[in-house]
Structure 1
Amino acid sequence: MASNDEKVADAHKTLYEQGLQLRREVTGTGHVQRSLQNGSSDFARPMQELATEMGWGSIWTRPGLERKTRSLLNIAMLCALNRMTELAVHVRGAVNNGVTELEIRETLMQVAAYCGLPAGLEGVRVAQKVLESIREESQSQ
């Protein structure tokens, strides 16, 4: 019979592995690899593990909301919180999840109405750069 510590470790491992798979599907293998490499120090590694386990393994894998909806929520929250680096990651992820440019723009318009024009304007600037980059990448393939 497994000890309580082993059960907890197994639960963390399961959530991490599920989160890692989903994180790769949404944000791309390259992004995840870079994030894990950048967070590979003894100091930073636990934060990457927590983000993968909690954010992706515990939240993104829950039933009840489609990935597309979760992406739009993240865009709104990250923009409202002025977390533009993460916003860029999640704009790309939203496109991977089937979100249209129109839906991204309308989400940012709502951010501007509820969180202020500076938040909405900055979000549009970030999203536009990401969307242009995605278009350029698709044209070069």
Structure 2
Amino acid sequence: MSSGDKVAEAHKTLYEQGIPVRTEVTGPQHVERSLQNNSSDFARPMQELATEWGWGSIWTRPGLERKTRSLLNIAMLCALNRMTELGVHIRGAVNNGATELEIRETLMQVAAYCGLPAGLEGVRVAEAILKSIREEKKT
């Protein structure tokens, strides 16, 4: 097997490991939408990288529970003002067993260390997502 074949096989393995984790955390609708909306020749490699590296390599590592990884992502995305991705990971945190209290306390920590504007915006995003989740459970 050539080195190019080995690299391609490694990419394939990580992608195949990442898809089920990404789906379990963010939900099948989000994954399908992300892959379909970003299926151009230009955008596809970024989705593949996110799936391979983020989901296939990092999220599959031992040492941290998924809930902990979710809460860390909430803090980092909020601190970086990445509110679209924050919404995805709020939902993912709930899927991973995080409570509303744990999510709120994570955002309070963000406010203390990254500034009130980051914490306030994070709370607005989280509140909208959590409300949506509660409404979905009623139907």
Range class of TM-score, shorter chain? over 0.9
1:121 match: 120
**Post-superposition CA distance 1:8-36 (Å, at most 9, x none):** 11111000011111000100000000000
2:9 match: 10
Residues 1:108 and 2:74 are matched in the alignment: no
1:65 match: 64
3-state secondary structure, aligned to 2:62? coil
TM-score (structure 1 length as normaliser) = 0.98
CA apart distance, 1:4: 1.5
Residues 1:85 and 2:84 are matched in the alignment: yes
Partners of 2:62 and 2:127 in 1: how far apart?
A: 30
CA apart distance, 1:108: 0.1
Partners of 2:37 and 2:54 in 1: how far apart?
A: 18
**Post-superposition CA distance 1:88-110 (Å, at most 9, x none):** 00000000000000000000000
Query: Which structure 1 residue ranges, 5 or more long, are not aligned?
Result: none
**Post-superposition CA distance 1:34-86 (Å, at most 9, x none):** 00011000110000000010110110000010000000000000000000000
Partners of 1:128 and 1:75 in 2: how far apart?
A: 13
Query: Which structure 2 residue ranges, 5 or more long, are not aligned?
Result: none
TM-score (structure 2 length as normaliser) = 0.99
Aligned sequence identity (%)? 83
Partners of 1:68 and 1:15 in 2: how far apart?
A: 21
CA RMSD of aligned residues (A): 0.5
- How many residues matched? 139
Residues 1:132 and 2:115 are matched in the alignment: no
CA apart distance, 1:6: 1.1
Structure 1 residue runs of 4 or more that deviate by more than 6 Å after TM superposition = none
CA apart distance, 1:7: 1.2
